[in-house]
Amino acid sequence: MAPIAVGDTIPEGTLSYFDENDQLQQVSVHSLAAGKKVIIFGVPGAFTPTCSLKHVPGYVEKAEELKSKGVAEVICISVNDPFVMKAWAKTFPENKHVKFLADGSATYTHALGLELNLSDKGLGVRSRRFAILVEDLKVKAANIESGGEFTCSSADDVLKAL
């Protein structure tokens, strides 16, 4: 399956998270993105070095600037379960705007065409690192990394596309 690209409509899918009352919730991706400008960025794994030290912190730090440019939602997805995503989100106490959503079985990641098979490293199927800018369900920018690189999917890279 070809990776999601500029001009495509993002697929519908369901992701999981724990709400402020610590209740497990499911959310439709289309409900988060319909009629809005959103950023969906994906990482290979919670608590991994590049994801935790570079990728997520950039979005946490730039969230206000992204919002000032009309971005309604900043969504981080990873092929992890919602318990892991909740614990990982807590490691960013300064975060006010980035939503951490779980794609536990990589179903949504597969629908995007962005799965990364890391079975040879004992990690199973994960997500490629990426950032997509979506306006009313249509992809306006698709910054998709190769392998484990971190060269085009940062918050600064997305800001250039706004």
Fill in the amino acid letter for 60: V
Q: Using the predicted structure, report yes or no on whether residue 1 has a pLDDT greater than 80.
A: no
User: What are the tokens at 19?
Assistant: 């709400």
Q: What is the pLDDT of residue 24?
A: 97
Cβ atoms of 44 and 148 within 8 Å: the answer is yes
What does the DSSP 8-state code read for residue 54?
I
Average pLDDT over every residue of 127-139: 97
What element of type H or E holds 108? helix 107-112
- 94-131 per-position pLDDT tens digit: 999 999 999 999 999 999 999 988 888 888 788 999 99
Q: Which fold has domain 8-161?
A: Glutaredoxin (3.40.30)
- The whole-number pLDDT of residue 121 equals 85
Q: With beta carbons less than 8 A apart as the criterion, state whether 73 and 36 touch.
A: yes
pLDDT given at position 120 = 86
Q: What is the pLDDT of residue 2?
A: 87
Residue 76 known to be catalytic: no
Q: Are 44 and 116 in contact (CB under 8 A)?
A: yes
- At 42-98, the pLDDT tens digits run 999 999 888 888 899 999 999 999 999 999 999 999 999 999 999 999 999 999 999
| The pLDDT of residue 89 | 97
Does the pTM surpass 0.75? The reply is yes
* Active-site position among 51, 71, 98, 142: 51
Residue 148 pLDDT exceeds 80: no
The Cβ of residue 6 has, within 10 Å, a number of other Cβ atoms equal to: 12
**DSSP character for 32?**
H
Domain boundaries, the chain: 8-161
Closest CA to 17 of 96, 127, 99, 93: 99
